[in-house]
Amino acid sequence: MAAKLKVFVTSDGLADYVVAASSRPKALAAWEAHQDLFANGAAHETDDPELMKAALAQPGEVLRRPAKSNARPAALPHTVKTKGPSKAALRQIEKAETRLAGVEAEHDEAIAEMAAQRAALDAREAAETEHYEDARRAAERDLAKARRAL
């Protein structure tokens, strides 16, 4: 069985906030209050027929009206959820990310190729240096031998 609803009112000085709830804690939760407004007298249960009629028509919904007014309370505006990015924008981002990944892969491949070429040149240089040193030692031996023969 559903709990009997009561109508509670609080005010911030500019507006009265009215809610139909089954208990004080539920009213505080609806107002998103972080303290007990009933303990210090800032909130109370009402028996005003106009407020009761409006609040009971929308239980749990916080209604607002100008403070100390006899106007019928209006529902608080609902916060509008912002839309996320469109599917077209997401596709555009995905396309750009794919292109970026391709550019990075191409660059990494070019760097790896240059590193391989550099390693091959280093090996060729080492072989050429060894060949040069062997040939120079042989030529120096021949020169020394020829000078001794004089």
Confirm whether 51 is domain-assigned. yes
- How many other C-beta atoms can be found within 10 angstroms of the C-beta atom of residue 60? 14
Confirm whether 36 is domain-assigned. yes
Residues 89 and 150 in one domain: yes
Q: Which residue range forms the structural domain that includes residue 107?
A: 84-150
User: Which of residues 75, 94, 110 is at a domain's end?
Assistant: 75
Residues 65 and 29 in one domain: yes
Residues 34 and 92 in one domain: no
Question: What pLDDT, on the 0 to 100 scale, is given for residue 69?
Answer: 65
9: Cβ contacts below 8 Å, ≥ 6 apart: 16, 17, 18, 43, 44, 45, 46, 48, 51
**Ranges 1-5, 29-33, 121-125: which has the least confidence:** 1-5
pLDDT band at 12 (very low <50, low <70, confident <90, very high): confident
Give exposure, 17-28, as e/b (b: 16+ Cβ within 10 Å).
Answer: bbbbbeebebbb
Residues 63 and 104 in one domain: no
For residue 38 the two structure tokens come to 């009933």
How would you list the strands of the sheet with 74-75, edge to edge?
43-45, 6-11, 15-21, 63-66, 74-75
Confirm whether 34 is domain-assigned. yes
Confirm whether 116 is domain-assigned. yes
Confirm whether 1 is domain-assigned. no
Question: What pLDDT, on the 0 to 100 scale, is given for residue 80?
Answer: 60
Work out how many domains the chain is built from and give that number.
2
In Å, how far are 17, 51, 77, 83 from 35, measured between CA atoms?
15, 23, 23, 33
In the block, tokens 């028996």 appear at 47
Residues 25 and 58 in one domain: yes
Torsion angle, CA of 39/45/50/56, rounded to 10 degrees?
Answer: 110
pLDDT in tens, 50-85: 888 888 888 888 988 887 766 566 665 556 667 788
User: Which of residues 20, 41, 75 is at a domain's end?
Assistant: 75
Residues 93 and 44 in one domain: no
